[in-house]
Amino acid sequence: MLGSRPICEPRLPPSTPFEGQKPATRKRPKPAMEENNELQRGTVTKLRTLAHDLSNSIETIMQASYLLAQVKLAGDNRKWIELIDKAAQEAARINREIREILRTQS
Q: CA-to-CA distance for 61 and 54, rounded, in angstroms?
A: 11
Question: Tell me, what amino acid is at 50?
Answer: L
Whether the pLDDT of residue 1 is over 70: the answer is no
* Orientation of helix 32-69 relative to helix 75-104, angle to 10°: 160
Query: pTM here?
Result: 0.62
| pLDDT per position as a tens digit, 57-91 | 999 999 999 999 999 888 888 899 999 999 999 99
**Mean pLDDT calculated for residue range 36-50:** 89
CB distance 60 to 91 below 8 Å? no
Q: Mind listing the domains of the chain with CATH numbers?
A: 32-104 (1.20.58)
Give the three-state DSSP class for 61.
Answer: helix
Asked if the model's pLDDT at residue 28 lies above 90, the reply is: no
Mean pLDDT of 13-25: 58
Count the Cβ atoms, other than its own, within 10 Å of residue 56: 8
One-letter amino acid of 82: E
